[in-house]
Amino acid sequence: MATLLRRALLPLRPLSSSTRPAADVPFRARSHGASRLYPDHIPTSPLQKALLAAGSAGMALYDPYRHDMIAVLGETTGCWTLKVLRDQMKRDPEGAQILQERPRISLSTLDLGKLQSLPEGSFGREYLRFLDVNRVSPDTRAPTRFVDDEELAYVIQRYREVHDMLHTLLGMPTNILGEIVVKWFEAVQTRLPMCILGALFGPVRLSAQSLQMLVSELIPWAVENGRRAPCVLNLYYEQRWEQSLSALREELGITVPPLCVRGRPSLSCCNKGAGLPSHPLPPGTEDTFATTFAPSF
């Protein structure tokens, strides 16, 4: 299986050497060469997609840090779900505007100076704090390659690029526990097979105490909020920077988490101005930093 996957991924090698940020590539329906629907598109047959899905799932379960395999899994298994998400966006005025304008999120499209100048507690300022505290960058999102529809390719790219916004809204860090909580929220929201897989199998890496907290407190909270909140892909985050984080959470129906999952110091979920609880998990339940099944690919 690994050999088949390596052979199927051979076309990725020349693309991976490109230094061009993914967000600098527009998603538009135009000719990009033989059978290519967008710049990084790799056309594949149903059989190739099945092999890619099976191989990438096995590799992702074996090594959750293989973000490239998780990306392939998401693209080769989520076609039907992406159509549902696309249709939800088309029915919503804000979502339809996003599909029309195709905004991208990267360091080249973000005005970091403006975000830094925003008031404490604003969504933009808290998002910038999240990136700084957790030492993550929006430029780590790899381009979509195996989705054979340019509009659906944008939908899954948009999902990847707003993932850090969901962390900010939910007040979750990028450690294992925080990522799993976000994955449960995303699984309920999107129904993407990749998210469901991450939500179900991510907890195997947790300690016994963290697993107990996750099952008894955090998963029910994430599921409830995922069901109550409108589709998070319909939110034009770039136009909400100045809105207070607490007001945006109230608009979306996102409530205070039952526990504060600590990450690095000064994480927004433990800041008084963020409108979230200051009481942390009990000692011994804070897992080391990692990114399990996070779409940082």
Place of tokens 């101005």: 273
92 is annotated as contributing to ligand binding: no
163 is in an annotated binding site: yes
* Residue 32 labelled as part of a binding site: no
Known binding residue 224? Answer is no
Full DSSP string of 136-178:
--GGGPPPP-S-SSHHHHHHHHHHHHTHHHHHHHHT--SBHHH
Q: Can you tell me the distance from the alpha carbon of 205 to that of 280, in angstroms, rounded to the nearest whole number?
A: 20
Q: Which long-range contacts (CB under 8 A, 24 or more apart) does 193-197 make?
A: 193/73, 193/74, 193/77, 193/78, 193/81, 194/70, 194/73, 194/74, 194/77, 194/78, 194/293, 194/295, 195/293, 197/57, 197/60, 197/61, 197/73, 197/293
What residues are designated binding site for Zn(2+)?
A: 163-164, 167, 179
What residues are designated binding site?
A: 163-164, 167, 179
